[in-house]
Amino acid sequence: MDPAVGTNNNRRPSQMTRYTNADFADDDSVNSVQLNEGISSSTTHIRYHAGSTIWKLRSPLEKVLLILVGILLFVIFILAIILHVTEHRLEENKMIIFPNDSSGPCLNKSCIQIANNILEALDNSVDPCDDFYSYACKGWIKANPIPDAKSTWGTFMKLEQQNQLVVKRVLEQPIDTLKSKAEQKAKMYYESCLDVNETVEALGAQPMLDLIRKLGGWNITNSGFDVTKWKLQNITQLIQNKYNIGGLFSYAVGEDDKNSTRHVLQIDQSGLTLPTRENYLNKTKEHKKVLDAYLEYMTKVGVLLGGEPNTTRKQMQDIVDFETKLANITIPSDMRRDEEKLYNLMKLGDLQIRAPFIDWRKFFEDAMRIVNRKVTNKEEVVVYAPEYLGNLTTLIKEYNKTTEGKIILNNYMVWQTVRVFTVCLSKAFRDAYKGLRTALMGSEGGEEPQWRYCIQDTNSVLGFAIGAIFVREVFDQNSKTQAEEIINNVRNAFKNNFKNLKWMDEDTRKVALDKADAISDMIGYPDFVKDMNQLDERFQNLTIRIDAYFDNNIQISFFNLRKNLEKINEAVNKTTWSMPPSTVNAYYTPTKNQMVFPAGILQSPFYDASFPSSLNYGGMGVVMGHELTHGFDDQGRQFDKYGNLKHWWKNETIDKFKQRTKCVVDQYNNYKINGKNIDGNQTLGENIADNGGLKAAYHAYLQLMGDKPEPESLPGIPLNHKQLFFVAFAQVWCSAVTKEATTLQIEKDSHSPAQYRVIGALSNLKEFSEEFRCKPGSRMNPKNKCEVW
């Protein structure tokens, strides 16, 4: 997923008001003395006792005055009790109170529920000017420990689980109640995953053993492998062009970066099983633990498939050693951010000269046979990793020299296939992965209900069929219109800020405005999911059986491969979606200049029609601003309004832009979790989007409110709505993460960890510090701020 944030300059002179425990103690001590003097127990007793005889002697006027005095004393007494209780609550929570100009709180059901959710997540013992993430989220983290089956737990995951319940309820209805054949296929796949007929357990390892024989055998098992007949060309074509498994490299059909109206073959580096190259190359204790767990996992799977334990471990170690060599020649992700340098358009004949470890024309002839397309040496391909492919050629040549080397290469290629489909086998194979998962993520996966995994799995393979169900069941059509309004307001605020960017020349500013206007937005779902005929046509060539989970996944892999290859003969459709509607996420595609906001994320806590605008703009508005800003981050800015990789900025402006992005890199490089620094280069694009999106959304909210009076406050929350905007933004990111998962994220993810997505963006935004009265030089209001957009 990807969301965002920004800045401005309009500082208030007044100081932030804080009521400390001492302040309340002084006030209460004065009031206590006064009240106790007037209504001590002894005095009350005497008056009451005497009053019974004297009362009759009073005149009517005196009686009325005495009654009024009594009522007044009673009111003062009640106020004293309320003040006393308030003192103790504030003392307990160390509540930080800010001025609120609204006339009174909103007390309808929605406001009370919203306020309750916000208050439960807040921790008022934390100074918001020191650590706004902890201030906004520490209460949530305390109340939401990571479930046993998870390594990460946050607002995104909670919403995903709510969405899963919606889909589960429908998929468990009789098949003839579903609206389309596509939805019926989704139900059959779901039930094959649940193994309702217990065929997965009954079959055990057999489906994989059959597949290995089709691949030509595996030296680890007794499956007919003959090294004298083996060729790298054959096994590569088989696993990539029939089973859609990435091996030594990956390929796909996608939009040509420099001519986004056409599709082209694209080739990139690949081949590592573990998530990062650091898992292989970094010699720390943590990484050794991961490598040891990986070898143990491989050995367990090999033995389950019939391998002898000692020889299996030895041969699996050879695979690990080979992957380590692949890691050595793999280019790190933080060095692959310059799109111009990555893009290498060449003919297949030229690629053959640079990387002759396989016959590329023969390989792609084999692939394109699926869609009846011929391939020649003049076929154009975009190569994103020519250096890697050149080094890979040298590595393959070394292994191809010996019989043992060829066996290792085949073992590696077959392993790539085995590891992908192992999840479709019996419980013994799934359990084998738990040790590696624990080493990588800090959780072995626990005993999460199988239905949750199967809903997630079904959504990943038949996402638009699931999307049709989700949209029909829960999506409010009015959300589309309201979301469009927020997007337009955020876009206008983003564009209006261009005039404040002194580093941008006038010509570049004009074309940047054109690009911002040209960014298309897709909201909720693609239209075809509501047209049963179009939906059925999309999955027409996919066969699913209720009792064949393993084979269903084989079928889906080939189905997806065919769908991708078919694009080579088609013009680019810039309205297509790559994310199912029920997904709790959003994305921007530079070659389409398109941002997409699925129905799954247009829900609380990101958006709700009953929310005040401050919360909707702080949640969904920032997400929208984030995706919009991706069109102008260090990678997105290299594409013009048509989605073409093109030099459309003046060089002087590019240099100034890079100076500003260096500030962001340095800022995030200094953030540290568990003793490990964030990689500011690797996360640069997301950090730019976080900062720019926050700023755009906040200014959109300010422009929306204009001169309108402050809305009603939320009950029990001493914050105005500008402050609530920032709380809403922060609370979207409330999450708990294991140490291992955090380490993996730092090494692999292009996003910064949640707490620094909040702290980093807010500390750069002057308006945030103004609203919370943060002193210059405090952690959330550093004197040196980074600003790109």
- Known catalytic residues are 627, 690
CB 529 within 8 A of CB 516: no
The Cα 131–Cα 300 span in angstroms is 45
Cα 185 to chain center, whole Å? 28
**Residue with tokens 């809305």, as numbered in its chain:** 711
Contact 629, 689 (CB under 8 A): yes
Which two tokens mark 714? 């939320």
Cα torsion 758, 761, 764, 769: sign:
negative
- What are the residues whose beta carbons fall under 8 Å from the beta carbon of 725, sequence distance 6 or more? 614, 615, 617, 618, 697, 698, 701
Element (H, E) at 721: helix 721-731
DSSP string, 564-614: HHHGGGS---TT--SS-TT-S--EEETTTTEEEEEGGGSSTTT--TTS-HH
Q: Which residues, including other chains, have CB under 8 Å from residue 206's CB and lie 6 or more apart? A: none
Q: What does the block give as tokens for 172?
A: 């468990």
The CA–CA distances, whole Å, from 57 to 43, 50, 54, 134, 645 equal 21, 12, 5, 66, 99
Name the β-bridge partners of 735.
154
Helix (H) or strand (E) holding 36: helix 21-38
Query: Of 302, 256, 293, nearest to 422 (Cα)?
Result: 302
Nearest-angstrom CA–CA distance, 576 and 594: 10
DSSP letter at 645 equals B
Tell me the C-alpha distance between 715 and 280, whole Å: 53
By DSSP bridging, strand 672-673 and strand 676-677 are antiparallel
**Cβ contacts of 248 within 8 Å, gap of 6 or more:** 236, 270, 271, 326, 357, 392, 396, 413
Tokens read off for 485: 């309004």
| Torsions phi, psi for 342 (to 5 deg) | -70, -30
The angle at the Cα of 739, spanning 736 to 743, to the nearest 5 degrees, equals 110
Tokens 């080493």 sit on residue:
439
CA distances from 325 to 249, 278, 330 (A): 14, 12, 9
Smallest CA-to-CA distance from 616 within 478, 508, 729 is with 729
Give the CA count within 13 Å in the CB-facing half-sphere of 576: 13
SS3 of residue 617 by DSSP: helix
Q: How far apart are CA 682 and CA 680, in angstroms?
A: 6
| DSSP for 235-248, written as a single string | HHHHHHHTS----S
- How large is the greatest C-alpha to C-alpha distance in the chain, in angstroms? 125
| Alpha carbons 588 and 594: distance in angstroms, whole number | 6
Burial category of 573 from C-beta neighbours within 10 Å (exposed 0-12, middle 13-18, buried 19 and up): exposed
Indicate left, alpha or beta for 306 from its phi (over 0: left) and psi (-120 to 50: alpha): left
Torsion of CA 357, 361, 367, 370, to 10 degrees: -160
